[in-house]
Amino acid sequence: MPEIKDNGKVWIRGQVGTTFAVKVDEKVFVPGQEEGQSIEYWLEGDFLCVDLHSLDQNIRIARRFPLGLEATHPATLFNGFSKTKHADMKVIAYEDEGVAEKIFTDAEYADGNIQNLFRDAFWQLAGLSG
C-alpha cells in the first residue's frame, strides 16, 4: 500500500522560491499550494488527492496525481521534511501531463456553496474520484 511519508518545501531548479511538497513512498509531489491557500491531501487507491482552498480569493481546486507518474523536475529538498534526508532529486508537479484538475471560482464557487463543503462532498462534486 502506498503511504504518505513526509512533507515540507522543495526548491525547483529555475524557480524563485520554495514550494510545498508531499512525499509518497519514494516520490515527491508538488501540489501547487499558493500563499494563503489551505491544503488537505490524502491517498485514494493509486492517486494522491489534493484539496486547495482560498476563502479570500473564492477559489477551490481539486487535483488528482497518479502515483505512477515519472518525476522529471530537478529539485532540492529545502526545509520542513522531518523524515527525509536533504537531497537533490526530481519531483512531480501539478502541471504535469496526467494530473487531473477541477477549479471552482467566482459564480460557480458562490452558487455551489463550495466554501462550506466537506472534503468528500467537494471531491465528489469535482468528479475526480476513482
Q: Span 6-16, mean pLDDT?
A: 94
Q: Percent of the chain scored above 90 by pLDDT?
A: 78
Q: Span 18-41, mean pLDDT?
A: 96
Q: Where are the beta strands (DSSP E) in the chain?
A: 4-12, 18-24, 27-30, 38-44, 47-54, 59-66, 73-79, 88-93, 100-105
Q: Span 80-99, mean pLDDT?
A: 92
Q: Span 102-128, mean pLDDT?
A: 92
pLDDT, tens only, 39-88: 999 999 999 999 999 999 999 999 999 999 999 999 998 888 989 888 88
What's the pLDDT band for 10 if we cut at 50, 70, 90? very high
What per-residue confidence (pLDDT) applies to 130? 61
71 φ/ψ sector (left φ>0, alpha ψ -120 to 50, else beta): beta
Quick check: 20 pLDDT over 70? yes
Q: Span 91-111, mean pLDDT?
A: 95
